[in-house]
Chain A
Amino acid sequence: MFKYFEPNKIFAITSKAPKYVLFLFIVILSIGLTEALILSPEDYKQSHSVRIMYVHVPAAWISLGIFSAITFLSVIGYIFKIRNFFLIAKSLAPSGLVFNIIALVTGSIWGKPTWGTWWAWDARITSMLILALFYIMYLVAWRIFEDEDNDKVFKVTSIITILGIINVPIIKYSVDWWNTLHQPASINILSKSSIHISMLFPLLTMTAAFALFSLLIFLMKYNTELIKIKNKGLDRL
């Protein structure tokens, strides 16, 4: 089913969908920003600095999610030799890297007024930096091997994702396993969250907005990949 997909059919979707996704993104982002910057209350302790969290946390979630997705696609693509999955993974990566960097930068901006430092080499922050390096490695590998043969680039990028995925649970649990400057998770699926509902709502809306942005960038990147295939005169992969 996946092996012999027809670029033409998918192309019809990916060339039309972005404008609808863009519209939806702008709507959700406007709602999210209004909530995050105006409607939501300030925090009892950090006052308005809390608003940075509405960008920081969704960005971090999305970057972790995209890396997991890339790894999953690459591994499945490698085992079953599904070329399309590699192209999907490749198209997802740039927005993952961008959100990773946003998470690092906003964390730094938040850290200065609250912790009293821009940067600390604690487990959470360092492991997040390592994730950014893996994203860069992944994208650079595509750049280097893309023009050579396909099998090589698929192998190299799969290996990079497998190496990098070990880091993902470390990022998630670093705050529980070790003493870190970074606070533990406030949102727990199984137990009660330690974030007030009035702050949870903008956080989730912003997450939805960022996810839509990733989808938008993905569709545009994927569309380009399909155009490349068409130009090569192949009607199937």
Chain B
Amino acid sequence: MYGRKVKLRFFFVLLILVTLALSVFLLIKSLEENVIFFKSPTEIKTLSEIGKKKIRIGGMVKKDSITIISKEIKFIVTDFKNEINVVYSGVVPNLFAEEKGVVAEGYLKDKNFFLATKILAKHDENYMPPEVKAALEEK
């Protein structure tokens, strides 16, 4: 139906695409460590050694865990399996709240204690007006 050249060009494009997809897949797979933006508390627990490098941890701020002592803010990051205590001094973003997502950047002192130098609030995918939220909570 189509000429030989057309078929050849089709396979050429297909070959490029498959090769590229595979190479990119392998590349990203081997770089996974750097592609992820933060580690969960469970991943921290499984670390074999604690590095001195700056890392990011993320999860939910545990309910009733935020305590503020003068300039210092302490809270617990949880992924509902494991927890890490975080200490931070500075300004937190507006969306930082209990039972909401958080990403903390800083240094791991030990597997249960994290000294944060920067706090980012993680927003989830839920968008709704305040009235709907209130109605949901009543249920």
Chain A residues within 8 Å of B, Cβ to Cβ: 41-46, 50, 53, 75, 78-81, 113-117, 120-123, 159, 162-163, 165-166, 170, 178-181, 183-186, 194-196, 198-199
User: Do A41 and B130 have beta carbons less than 8 Å apart?
Assistant: yes
Which B residue's beta carbon lies closest to that of A45? Answer: B95
- Which of the candidate stretches B10-18, B47-55, B66-74, B106-114 sits at the interface with the other chain? B10-18
User: Do A79 and B124 have beta carbons less than 8 Å apart?
Assistant: no
Knowing A44-B128, A194-B126 touch, does A120 contact B37 (C-beta < 8 A)?
A: yes
B130 cross-chain contacts in A, Cβ below 8 A = 41-44
Partner of A80, one of B6, B36, B129: B6
Q: Max chain B CB contacts within 10 Å: which of A80, A180, A181?
A: A181
Chain B residues within 8 Å of A, Cβ to Cβ: 2, 6, 9-10, 13, 16-17, 20-21, 24, 28, 32, 35-40, 58, 92-96, 100, 103, 118-134
B9 cross-chain contacts in A, Cβ below 8 A = 78-79
Which B residue's beta carbon lies closest to that of A126? Answer: B35
B13 cross-chain contacts in A, Cβ below 8 A = 75, 78-79, 162
User: Do B125 and A194 have beta carbons less than 8 Å apart?
Assistant: yes
A44 to B122 alpha-carbon distance, docked (Å)? 15
B2 cross-chain contacts in A, Cβ below 8 A = 80
Besides A43-B130, A196-B127, A198-B129, 9 new A-B residue pairs in contact (Cβ under 8 A), listed by A number = A43-B129, A45-B123, A78-B9, A117-B120, A122-B37, A123-B36, A180-B37, A181-B122, A195-B126
A80 cross-chain contacts in B, Cβ below 8 A = 2, 6
User: Do A43 and B93 have beta carbons less than 8 Å apart?
Assistant: no
Within the complex, the shortest CB–CB distance from B125 to chain A, in Å, comes to 4
Which A residue's beta carbon lies closest to that of B91? Answer: A116
Partner of A114, one of B10, B16, B94: B94
Within the complex, the shortest CB–CB distance from B132 to chain A, in Å, comes to 6
A159 to B108 alpha-carbon distance, docked (Å)? 45
A178 to B40 alpha-carbon distance, docked (Å)? 11
A112 to B93 alpha-carbon distance, docked (Å)? 9
A210 to B127 alpha-carbon distance, docked (Å)? 22
User: Do B35 and A123 have beta carbons less than 8 Å apart?
Assistant: yes
Knowing A162-B13, A179-B40 touch, does A44 contact B125 (C-beta < 8 A)?
A: no
16 contacts between A and B (CB under 8 A): A45-B123, A75-B13, A79-B10, A80-B6, A116-B94, A116-B119, A163-B20, A166-B17, A166-B20, A166-B24, A170-B28, A179-B36, A183-B125, A194-B125, A194-B126, A195-B125
